[in-house]
Amino acid sequence: GLAGGGGGGGGGKPGKLKDEGGEGRDKMVYPLEKIEQAKTDKEKFMVMFETLKQQMLHHMSKTHSMPPAAVSWASAMIDYNVVGGKLNRGITVLAVQRTLKAAQAKGGKARLTAREVARASVLGWSIEWLQAFFLVADDVMDDSQTRRGQPCWYKRPEVGMIAINDAFLLESFIYTILEMHFGGEEYYGRLRDLFLE
User: Tens place of pLDDT for every residue, the chain, 197 residues?
Assistant: 554 443 333 333 444 433 333 333 346 889 999 999 999 999 999 999 999 999 999 999 999 999 999 999 999 999 999 998 899 999 999 999 999 999 888 767 789 999 999 999 999 999 999 999 999 999 999 999 999 999 999 999 999 999 999 999 999 999 999 999 999 999 999 999 999 99
CA distance 81 to 144: 14
User: Residue 107 gets which letter from DSSP?
Assistant: S
Nearest to 36 by CA among 93, 114, 100, 104: 114
- pLDDT reported for residue 1: 56
- pLDDT reported for residue 29: 87
SS (H, E, C) the chain: CCCCCCCCCCCCCCCCEEECCCCCCEEECCCHHHHHHCCCHHHHHHHHHHHHHHHHHHHHHHHCCCCHHHHHHHHHHHHHHCCCCCCHHHHHHHHHHHHHHHHHHCCCCCCCCHHHHHHHHHHHHHHHHHHHHHHHHHHHHHCCCEECCEECHHHCCCCCCHHHHHHHHHHHHHHHHHHHHHCCCCCHHHHHHHHHC
Beta pairing partners, 18 = 27
CA distance 1 to 119: 9
Beta pairing partners, 146 = 151
- pLDDT reported for residue 2: 56
Model confidence pLDDT, tens digit, residues 24-56? 334 688 999 999 999 999 999 999 999 999 999
- pLDDT reported for residue 28: 82
CB of 28 within 8 A of CB of 15? yes
Helix, strand, or coil (residue 146): strand
